[in-house]
Amino acid sequence: MTAWLTPRNAFVVALLVVLALVPVYAGLIGNYFLMSLFTRIVILAMAAVSLNLIMGFGGMVSFGHAAYLGIGGYAIGILAKEGINSGFVQWPLALAMSALFALAVGALSLRTRGVYFIMITLAFAQMVYYVAIGLDRYGGDDGMTIYKRSQFGDLINLSNKTAFYYLCLVLLLLAVYIVWRIVNSRFGMVIQGARSNDRRMRAIGFPTYRYKLVCFVIAGTICGLAGALLANHTDFISPAMMHWTRSGDLIVMAVLGGMGTVFGPVIGAVALLVLEEALSGVTEYWQIIIGPIFLLVVLFARGGIDGMLLGARRD
Amino acid sequence: MTEALLRVEGLSKRFGGIVASDDINLLIPLGELHAIIGPNGAGKSTLIGQLAGELAPDFGRIGFGGHDITALPTYRRSQLGLARSFQITSLFPDFTVLDNVALAVQAHAGHSFHFWRAARREDALRGPARAALARVGLAERGDVLVSRLSHGEHRQLELAMALATSPRMLLLDEPMAGMGPDESARMVKTLRELKRDLTILLIEHDMEAVFALADRITVLVYGRTIASGTPEAIRANAEVRQAYLGEQEAVDG
């Protein structure tokens, strides 16, 4: 009767309830840091969800996805520095710049495959990273403080931590929903078919390149939005936002959580960042513990945490 | 003289020192089932690769239904109605059987920049896909994952996907490869039915099937056409017997 009431779905609902209650709990115990941590988790989860659209469903392993976080963030920071604080200007521009960059990167990198694709996406991200370092006016290597968060008039006050957290959470859920619709649409079928067997896709009449390119741009745009949120969250932009290790983190989140489902990367982001936070309190060598855990998941749970939960489905 | 649906003129392709296609000429009229036979390494798959657009010929022209398709990319040829099946099964293993065929239908149902509606619920895709499955005898297997099909069923699905693109002509690359006698017999029956509606270029090693089905046969040896004609003419051709059929006949005894 209740076919949807699987252990996995129960887990997803529980996770969503926890995420929704974070501000309440943080308010009760007066722990501001918890709020800040979970705001970051929610934002990076959104970036991981966008990466999973191209990597998990499209088979396009981008090793430069953090570049969009940076571009989205720098769009906010640069405009703020130049005195343009309206979110109605900042955010669309952040999205447009990310989309444009994704279009350029995708147009070139999607002509290659496998390791070459990974390397080209990494190279582009490194390029943006070094350009950001060269932007002396905007803090160069050291980064730059943003003194005023994006202004949305009376609509929402982003400086209100609780309001901002819920905005991030709603946008994350919206991103998950949009990706879910896309994945199951005609467009999504083409993307997944191209991952599975690009040659056959062309043989049955699909010009796969243009579909993959559009998918690449959608993912970059969503990640650019995450970047805009991140800049508002930290009130700070710096090249570190798009360091290549950050791109690696996003891949780890998607793989750890599970690339086969739309929600997997959210689980991965929560798992990785909470683990990182908890372990770094115990030892400064926390990576030594996370490394083997990641290895075990990759070796023994091919679908990530979400795949494991789905495997436990009772039917 | 009937109008040719597929017209190949002076097609040549080399790989380094090896001549894989050597000045091949073919005229396949509408409705014909034309078989290409030849020993291993004769350049049969290279020929199909060039017809499908996966390999670019060095010289020569390919015309299809009045279009010069020599320089067209693969997907454009498919859109014009030229469908191929693969010698080594080439499917989408993590999709169901019906998903696979529906994808082929979708390829020819306008562009696919539809981001919102659930494609698996669209009757416009699922209906024709089910029909194509029924034509090859896989109607009952729609919801099975492709990775769970038997080899013979893979071959049938290959054919269903080619059919689902509503083609004018099929390029079939060894559809019976690796099949048992029962499966082969069923495939021959299917092809005989398809032959009524479609022009077919068939590459096949199973001589019994080829001679049972083909209207005309072309024999390739080292990339060169050594004979072309009706099954009777090919059977009687001395050069063919010597180059190719000889050993087979001797075995069949």
Does the beta carbon of B113 lie under 8 angstroms from any beta carbon of chain A? yes
Contact B90 A202 (CB under 8 A): no
**CA of B96, closest CA in chain A: separation in Å?**
12
CB hemisphere CA count around A86 (13 angstroms): 5
Q: Of A106-115, A255-264, B6-15, B239-248, which gets the smallest average pLDDT?
A: B239-248
Residue B246's pLDDT is what? 56
Q: Which of residues 144-203 of B touch A (CB under 8 A)?
A: 161-162, 164-165
Residue A49's pLDDT is what? 98
ipTM score: 0.86
Contact A202 B86 (CB under 8 A): no
Per-domain residue ranges for chain A?
Answer: 16-244
Cβ burial, residue B61 (10 Å; 0-12/13-18/19+): middle
Task: Please state which CATH number belongs to domain B1-81+169-253.
Answer: 3.40.50.300
Beta strands in A121-229 (DSSP E): 144-145
**CA of A200, closest CA in chain B: separation in Å?**
6
Average pLDDT value for chain A: 94
Contact B73 A190 (CB under 8 A): no
Give the nearest partner residue to B116 out of A181, A204, A207, using CB atoms: A181
Residues 6+ apart with CB under 8 A from B221: B38, B39, B42, B243, B244
Residue B248's pLDDT is what? 54
Q: What is the DSSP letter of A147?
A: S
Confidence of residue A1 (pLDDT cuts 50, 70, 90): very low
Q: Which residue has the tokens 């990182």?
A: A276
Contact A185 B106 (CB under 8 A): no
Residues in chain A within 8 Å Cβ distance of B69? none
Contact A199 B119 (CB under 8 A): no
Residue A5's pLDDT is what? 82
Residue A173's pLDDT is what? 98
Summarised one tens digit per residue, pLDDT across range A168-200 is 999 999 999 999 999 999 999 999 999 999 999
Q: Above 90 in pLDDT, residue A113?
A: no
Helices and strands per DSSP (H, E), number in chain A: 12, 2
Beta strands B199-203; B33-37: pairing state: parallel
Contact A203 B119 (CB under 8 A): no
Summarised one tens digit per residue, pLDDT across range A6-40 is 889 999 999 999 999 999 999 999 888 999 999 99
Summarised one tens digit per residue, pLDDT across range A187-242 is 999 999 999 999 999 989 999 999 999 999 999 999 999 999 999 999 999 999 99
Residue B180's pLDDT is what? 87
Residue ranges in chain B modelled with pLDDT below 70: 1-2, 244-253
Residue B253's pLDDT is what? 39
Q: Closest chain B residue to A178 measured between Cα atoms?
A: B116
**CA of A257, closest CA in chain B: separation in Å?**
20
Q: Above 90 in pLDDT, residue A78?
A: yes
Written as one letter, the residue type at A184 is N
Contact B99 A189 (CB under 8 A): yes
